[in-house]
Copies of this chain bind each other. A is one copy, B any other.
């Protein structure tokens, strides 16, 4: 998408043709800084320390990480070790494993001295495919938003179309377009007066930092709210639909996403608000049949909960402690929303119910 009119992706090859450049998302929203990845270690750090985040972008970064690794050493052993190292950076996002498996498949039968170029080629394809997939998700989700908007207009009091989202599943979470936000960009560009309720998304504030930042860049009206607010807004008719992204969808339709998603889905169900989940098909984990029970939930460093970073009046970026000295803290990164609370899954192939049958109808080759 565009930043001040300049088309920008979240990951790209440096001018030298081999290093990889990314937006350092830990510096957003107050600073725009890029980082240069020159090694496997750089790529692993970028994922683990969340310079990049969002399941699709993690996958693309891991793919380029394998390319950087292959450039340094194309041996079977080096690739296997690189695979393991990258796989261990984040435990929940299934796209990470998908991208790494894709890279291994692309490299396995290639002679050692040609692996680096093959790896760069496949990584670039993975990135381009992500953009295409997300654009298609945007088109499919846009149709849903257009229908909901038409319903509002038919009622005679259109106002604006209020969409609530949690965390960041915008273009900053992918290579471009985003997943949950792609339909919003498409609807906005098509002239639907969309307004986005942006959940702050504690503890890491990806909503306030990233979703607000990118909607701002693109000019989409939005309001940052506490994660606590969605229930009240839905209870009072102020939300027309919810769209969130996901880090892993089980084959039964259960949706793993940023911690707190489950609470919003409960509120949506309780108030008859449609709750959609947007995802590229690599996010589906066909091996997990019960998402609530079997998707592992990452526990992250509690400093994300005890501390918060922001900008002072002087423009300095400062981290402050918000809990009392001596109080323990917990930090679960994700939760799982049972499929029964999900109105529909928006994929690059279309929209389906969050059920085994729904998923199989769109992906019969997995049936």
B contact residues around A233 at 8 Å (CB): 332
- A282 in the interface (beta carbon within 8 A): no
Q: Given A259-B226, A335-B231, are A318 and B318 neighbors across the interface (CB < 8 Å)?
A: yes
A202 CA / B322 CA spacing, docked (Å): 11
**Contact B226 A323, beta carbon cutoff 8 Å:** no
**Contact A330 B208, beta carbon cutoff 8 Å:** no
- A89 in the interface (beta carbon within 8 A): no
Which residue of B has the minimal Cβ distance to A270?
B266
Which residue of B has the minimal Cβ distance to A317?
B320
Main secondary structure of the interface of A (DSSP, over half): mixed
B contact residues around A232 at 8 Å (CB): 259, 262, 297, 332, 334-336
**Contact A29 B324, beta carbon cutoff 8 Å:** yes
B contact residues around A203 at 8 Å (CB): 200, 226, 228
Range class of the A interface residue count = 35 or more
A258 CA / B331 CA spacing, docked (Å): 22
Binds B, one of A15-23, A109-117, A209-217, A348-356: A209-217
**Contact B324 A212, beta carbon cutoff 8 Å:** yes
- A77 in the interface (beta carbon within 8 A): no
B contact residues around A215 at 8 Å (CB): 327
Identify which of B200, B309, B310, B332 contacts A229 (C-beta below 8 A).
Answer: B332
Identify which of B231, B258, B321, B327 contacts A263 (C-beta below 8 A).
Answer: B231
Binds B, one of A93-101, A138-146, A300-308: A300-308
Identify which of B198, B262, B329 contacts A231 (C-beta below 8 A).
Answer: B262
- A280 in the interface (beta carbon within 8 A): no
- A106 in the interface (beta carbon within 8 A): no
Interface residues of A in 134-191 (CB under 8 A from B): none
Interface string of A20-41 (1 = CB under 8 A from B): 0000000011100000000000
**Contact B224 A323, beta carbon cutoff 8 Å:** yes
Tell me the minimal C-beta distance from A349 to chain B in angstroms. 30
**Contact B331 A226, beta carbon cutoff 8 Å:** yes
**Contact B308 A320, beta carbon cutoff 8 Å:** yes
**Contact A292 B235, beta carbon cutoff 8 Å:** yes
Q: Given A263-B266, A323-B212, A330-B229, are A235 and B305 neighbors across the interface (CB < 8 Å)?
A: no
**Contact A201 B228, beta carbon cutoff 8 Å:** yes
B contact residues around A331 at 8 Å (CB): 225-226
**Contact A209 B332, beta carbon cutoff 8 Å:** no
**Contact A202 B227, beta carbon cutoff 8 Å:** yes
- A347 in the interface (beta carbon within 8 A): no
- A326 in the interface (beta carbon within 8 A): yes
- A361 in the interface (beta carbon within 8 A): no
Q: Given A202-B202, A266-B270, A305-B200, are A224 and B258 neighbors across the interface (CB < 8 Å)?
A: no
- A230 in the interface (beta carbon within 8 A): yes
Interface string of A239-283 (1 = CB under 8 A from B): 000000000000000000011101110110010000000000000
Could you name 26 residue pairs across A and B whose Cβ atoms are closer than 8 Å? A28-B324, A29-B323, A200-B202, A200-B203, A202-B202, A202-B227, A209-B322, A212-B323, A213-B324, A216-B326, A216-B327, A223-B328, A223-B330, A224-B329, A226-B227, A226-B259, A228-B263, A229-B260, A231-B260, A232-B334, A263-B263, A263-B266, A307-B310, A310-B321, A311-B321, A312-B318
Extra pairs beyond A224-B306, A231-B266, A308-B310 (13, CB < 8 Å): A200-B202, A200-B322, A205-B322, A216-B327, A223-B328, A227-B227, A227-B228, A228-B258, A230-B263, A232-B335, A263-B263, A263-B264, A308-B320
